[in-house]
Structure 1
Amino acid sequence: MEQKKKEQDVLIVRDEKTGEIGVVAGLKRDGTPNLKAAKAENTQDFLRFDRHGDVLDNFFANFYRQCKEPKRFGFYRVAAEGADKVVEVLKELLKNPKKNEELLAPHKVDTTKYEQSAAQQQTQEGETQAAPTEQTEETPQQAEQSSAGERQSNDGGYKPIDDSHLDREAVAERWGIDLAALEQSGDLERMRHDGKSQLVECNPDFGGIRVPMQARLSLRENPDGTVSIIPHPIRREPNLDEYRNVKFTPEDQENLKKTGNLGRVAEVVDPATGELIPSFISIDRLTNETVAVPVSAIRIPEEVKGVKLDPEQKAALSRGEGVYVEGMTAKSGKKFNATLQINADKRGLDFHFGGQKKAQRQEQTQTADGAPKERRLRIGKTLLGAEVKPEYKAGWEQNKWVYIEGMTDKKGQKFNAYVRPNHEKVKYDFSRKRPEQSQIYEVKPDAASRTQVAVNSEGKTDEATKHIGEPLQRGQTAPANEEQQRRQQNANKPRMRM
C-alpha cells in the first residue's frame, strides 16, 4: 500500500486569468478545477492518479466537456509526496512561464489529445463546427526536430547549426553553463549536428537563486535567426504509457523497456499544425525523456561497418524494426554481429548485441502460446561436492535456508554455509552468517549423525567419546584412531588419592 501511495501523482493547476495556483481537488459545477492549497490538512481532498489508471483521462474528459474557458488553465503533474514543496517552486517558475518553459516541460501536461477528443465528440453530436484545438507551447524536442527539418529542406541538404548566433554571455548568466568546457569535451560539436551533450552540471538562476541540476543540452535555431540552449533535465522515469497522441501498446512498452526504441513507425501529431507525421520514437537513456524524430529526417544507410544492407534489411530499418547483421568490422579490425535499429534520440543507428542468440534463448523459454516459462534452478544430487539430501529439498520448497556442511570452494577448501536456491537469478545464495530463525529450515540429523550433532553443535556429551579431544565426524560414536582411544582410556582411569 505504501509503495502504491508513493507512485501516485497530483495535478497542479494555474489559473492564467487570476494567477491562482493550487492542487486539483476535482471539478466545480461550472467545470472549472476546484483548487486547494498545498497544505497537509487538504491532502485527503487532492485528486490522485497513477500511470496505469484512468482517473486522469476521466478528469480531462469531464473538464473539456464542461468548462467554457479550458485555455484559461495550465496543468502540471507532480508526485503527490512532497507536493507542498513543489508548488512553491512552481510558483516561482510560473512567474515567467515562457522564460522557464524548459524546466516546466517535464511536468507540464500535454492536453492536446483531450482537446481533440472533445472536438470530435462535439462533431459526432451534430455540432456544425468543432472547437478549435489549442496550440500548445513548443517543447525543446519539437523545436529541435522542426529546426533541423527546415535547415535541410531550405538548403536542399544538411547544414549544422551555426552556434556563432548563440549569446554565450546570456547562456552563462541564465543557465550557469560553461560553453568552453562543452567545446573541449566535444559536446558542442554533437549539439551543432542536432545531437545532445552528455549529462552536464547546470546552475540555472531563478530570481537570484541558483538551483543545481543535471541535464543534457541541445541547440535550437529560432525564427529570428538566433540560437538557444535547450536543457533536457532528468525525469524520474520514462513515460511508457503514451507520447502525445500515441498510446503505447503492451508490445510497444516491452520494446521501449528492452531496447529503448518503439520498434515501429508511429503517426505523431504536431501540436502546432495538427498534422500527423510518421516518426521514430525512442527513450533517452540518460534523462528518461521520450524523443521523436520524423522518418523523413533519418537516412537509411547503404552500408554499415563494411556490410552492404540488402533491400529487405533497409526496408525493415525504415519501419523501425531491428535487423540482425553479421560480419561487421569494428575499428579494431575484429568482426562482430549485432542487431541494428533506428534510435530517435541518437538520430541514427543503435547496436544491440546477442540478438539472434537471445531470440533463440527466448524461444526456448517460452510456452507454446508465447507466454514466458517460469525460470527455475535445477537441483542436482550434489552441491559443491556435498550430498543434496531430500530434507534440503523440502526446506528449499518453502524458500528457506538450509545449513550444509562439507562443501568445497574454488580453492579446494572445505566450508559450511546456509544455502537457498534463487530461481529468479538461476543460482544459489550462500550465507555464512545465520539468517533469522523463521527463515531457516531445521534439518533433523539421521541416526548416524545424531551423536555428532549433539556433541558438536548442541554442547552435549557422550561417554564413549567424551575425552577424545576432537569434533566428531558423521556417524562417529567411538574413538576413531589409536590416539583418540588413548585419550579416552587415560581419562577413564581412576586417579590415586594421596
Structure 2
Amino acid sequence: MEDDIINSQEANEIKPSADTLIVLNIHTNEVEMVKGIDKEGNLQKFPPENNKENDQLIRVDKHGDIFSNFFSNFYRQLKNPTHFNFFKVSEYDAVSTAKDLQKYVDQASPEEKEKLKDYEILPKNNNNPKNRNSMENNTETQEYRFQPEQIDWKTMEKFGLNQEKLEKMNAMDALLRGFKTNTLIPITINLGTAVSRMDVRLSLQTGDTGQVAVHLHGIRKEPNLNNKFLGHEFTEEDKKNLKETGNMGRVVDLVNPKTDEIIPSVISRDRLTNELVAYRAEYMKIPDEIKGVQLDEHQKQTLLEGKPLYLEGMISKKGESFDATVQFNADKRYVEFLFNTNPSQQQNQQQTEQQNQSSTLARHTDKEAPRIFRGKELDDSQYEKLKAGQTIYIDGLEDAKGKAYQGYITFNKETSKTEFSFTNPNKLKEQAAASENHETQTAVNSQGKTKEATKNIKEPLESKQQQPASKQQEDQQKKVRKSGGRKL
C-alpha cells in the first residue's frame, strides 16, 4: 500500500513542474505539508486540509542534484530533525498524497510503519539517526554542494593545480562540500614578467551568474581588527578573544554589502590564514551530545550565542575521561574543542600550526624533502638523492602557459626550501673554483699582481698555490700585517 501512497503521482497524466515535501511527526503520527523553517530552526507546516496555504508549499526543481542540495541545507538548519520523517512528492499530488499517507499511518501496524523508512528521504551519508546530531559528523554528513565538472579547471591550471593533484592532497572532498581546504595548498601565479609562489586555502563559491568560481585565501600576518568588518566595529574584548581562541564569542549583526540585509552572525579567525570568517547564526547546529555528555537547553543556548562552554566528564575514543572547553567556530562551521586556555601557549600553538602548514609544499613536513615538485612526482632514486642533499636533474615541468621546461633542484634543510636552477649548481661551483685558481696564478706569475692570501709573498707561487707554502713566506706575510700592510 505504501507504494501507492508515495508514488501516486506517477499515475497522473499531468506532469508536475516541481517537487515538494510532506512530513510525518514520529511522535504525534500527524502528516502535514511543509512550507519552511523559522528563524529558531522550527519546522513550519500546515495540515493538508488547509487549502488556503497550498500556495506556500516549498517548491524545488525536480532535477536530482538541485533537490538533493536543497534538502541537505534544509535538513541542516532544522532544530530537531530526528522528530520528523520527510517524503518527497510532486507538488501537484502533495495534498492527496498527504491525506492518503495519514490514513495509512492511522491503521498501520508498527511493522508496516517501519516499511515507510524505505521511502523517507535523508541527506546522503546521514542514514544513521544516531549520527544526525553527533559532533564528529557535523561536516562529514553534508551533501556535496558542487560537482567536479563545475570547477573551472582552466583557472586551476593557471595556479599549477589539477584534479589529480588536489585528490592526492585530500583537498577535493572539502572543496566539493563547500568548505575551504583543510590545509594550505602551494600554488604558482605567473604574471608573465614575474612568477609568484604562495601557500593558500582554496574554496569554491557560486557567483551572481551561477558560475562556480575559485577563491584564494592567502596568509595574512595578522587579522585586521582595527577596521569595521561587514559593519561591525570590534571591541577590545572582541579583539582579545579572536587573537587568543580564534572565536569572537558572541553573536553580532553584520551587514550584507550587496543587499544591506542585517544578518545575525558569529565571527571566527581562520587560524591558518588569519582571515576573518562570518557564519549566519540561523545556520548554527548544536549537537545534543558531545563525547558522551548530554547537553541541556541552557548549554545549547550558550553555544548558540557563540560563547565558550566548559564540559566535564567527556569520553575520548580511547575510553578515557577528559574535560575541555567547546565553542562554535564560524570557519569550521561546527563546535570545536579548545583544550588550551592559556593565551601565550595558544599563540605559540597557533604560530606552530601556521608554520607547519606553510611548509607543506607537496605535503611534506619541516626539513623533509618534497616528493612532488611543481606537479612532477620524483621517482625513488631522485627522492633519495634529494633527501641526502644532492642536486638532481628534473624534466617534464610546465609553466603557467603549458610550456615544458627542465632544470636542477636541491633541498636546503636549513631553510626547508627546494632551490631550483636552470643550470647545474655543482658545475657552476667547479667552474668558479677553477676560475679562482687560474686568476690567482695568472695574477702573480703573469701580471705581477697578487691575491689577498698571497699578496705579501715575494717568492714565485707554484702552480695553483693560494696559501704560503713555507715558513719564510708565512713570516713575510705576518710582518706586513703588523705594519699596516705597507712594504718597508
The answer, yes or no, to whether TM exceeds 0.5 is no
What TM-score do the two structures reach when normalised by structure 1? 0.39
Q: Which has the higher contact order (CA 8 A, sep 6+)?
A: 2
